[in-house]
């Protein structure tokens, strides 16, 4: 089937609380890198046209121009691009955002630690996305030895959930003990950690999420250990071999591998390129054999 006809539903669905999403979604972090606003909007339109109904974002996904330089300019927030492209939001579209890290009006990054700061971040997301209630909010932490409990911050979000500002809660950059600590406070629908073919150190967490019926949503599935630096130009021989065998790209193999890690694993590939959106969605239809998975596991 031509890439452009493959829909995000090809890898099936998962349910976040009462919200059903296609397992192949979209991450919006890369949208603010390109000064071409129309191209960013086209990426979002293309993703939704292809059936993507799970978008990941954050209020601190901001273009490096404008406030980050302290200059007046075309400040672009991924959350506002999402609103401009997609509001009024189509039925069934789920937008997941994250709080914890934040960015002040003068462009300074900070980490929210108090209930007041978390409330302000939730309100900022509501305002920028133009929503009355956020579908899913992940508490994104920075792990620090000796200062490791998520309880106080998760309780603060659970109160905002009770107030009706948040539908479902998740966690990001956590360990299994954080997951269980949070689950004792309120239901957790997803965990978002870095995980990829070449970065499998959270294999236990992936498995434990599955055992608890919690979605595992890896970020950097394509970028892997290169993280913010993005997709690699060079690939492990096994990845290239599998890609050649299927007539697809290495990036598509990395996404397909991700989706083969369990029915509860959701992909949120990030791109600022409308062509790459279609390629990434097409990876939802790519089926890898048991032999190929073994081959890739040691890539």
Contact footprint for ligand NAP (CB under 6 A): 27-30, 56, 98, 140, 172-173, 192, 219-223, 230-231, 249, 251, 268-273, 276, 279-280
Residue nearer to ligand NAP on the CB measure, 82 or 160: 82
Helices 237-246 and 250-259, packing angle to 10 deg:
90
Specify whether 61 is catalytic: yes
Q: How far is the CB of 72 from ligand NAP (least distance, A)?
A: 26
Which residue's CB is nearer to ligand NAP, number 121 or number 271? 271
In whole angstroms, how close is the CB of 226 to ligand NAP at the nearest point? 8
What's the min distance (Å) between Cβ of 279 and ligand NAP? 4
Taking the least distance from each CB to ligand NAP, the nearer of 9 and 193 is: 193
Nearer to ligand NAP, 140 or 168 (CB): 140
Separation of first and last alpha carbons in the chain = 28
**Cα angle 208-210-214, degrees, rounded to a multiple of 5:** 100
Q: Which of 61, 89, 110, 195 is catalytic?
A: 61
Residues 6+ apart with CB under 8 A from 59: 77, 79, 97, 99, 102, 103, 121, 124, 125, 128
**What whole-number distance in Å separates Cα of residue 203 and Cα of residue 140?**
19
Q: Is the dihedral of CA 45, 50, 53, 57 positive or negative?
A: negative
Contacts for 217 with CB less than 8 Å, ≥ 6 apart:
25, 56, 96, 170, 190, 191, 192, 265, 266, 267, 268
Q: Which residue has the closest beta carbon to ligand NAP? A: 270
Catalytic positions: 61
């Amino acid at each position: 089937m031509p890439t452009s006809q493959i829909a995000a539903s090809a890898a099936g669905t998962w349910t976040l609380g009462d919200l059903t999403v296609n397992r192949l979604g979209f991450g919006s972090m890369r949208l603010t890198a390109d000064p071409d606003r129309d191209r960013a909007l086209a990426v979002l339109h293309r993703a939704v046209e292809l059936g993507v109904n799970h978008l990941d974002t954050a209020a601190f996904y901001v273009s490096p121009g404008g406030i980050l330089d302290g200059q007046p300019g075309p400040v672009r927030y991924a959350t506002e691009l999402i609103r401009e492209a997609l509001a009024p939001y189509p039925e069934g579209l789920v937008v997941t955002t994250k709080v914890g890290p934040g960015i002040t009006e003068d462009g300074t990054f900070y980490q929210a630690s108090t209930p007041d700061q978390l409330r302000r971040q939730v309100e900022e997301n509501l305002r920028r996305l133009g929503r009355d209630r956020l579908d899913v909010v992940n508490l994104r932490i920075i792990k620090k030895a000796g200062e490791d409990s998520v309880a106080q911050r998760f309780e603060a979000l659970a109160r905002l959930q009770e107030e009706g500002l948040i539908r479902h809660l998740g966690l990001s950059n956590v360990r299994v003990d954080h997951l269980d600590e949070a689950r004792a406070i309120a239901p957790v629908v997803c965990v978002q950690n870095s995980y990829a073919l070449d970065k499998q150190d959270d294999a236990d967490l992936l498995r434990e999420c599955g055992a608890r019926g919690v979605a595992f949503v890896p970020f950097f599935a394509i970028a892997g250990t290169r993280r913010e630096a993005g997709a690699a130009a060079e690939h492990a021989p096994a990845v290239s071999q599998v890609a050649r065998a299927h007539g697809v790209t290495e990036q598509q193999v990395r996404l397909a591998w991700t989706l083969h890690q369990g029915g509860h694993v959701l992909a949120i590939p990030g791109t600022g390129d409308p062509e790459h959106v279609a390629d990434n969605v097409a990876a939802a239809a790519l089926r890898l054999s048991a032999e190929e998975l073994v081959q890739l596991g040691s890539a």
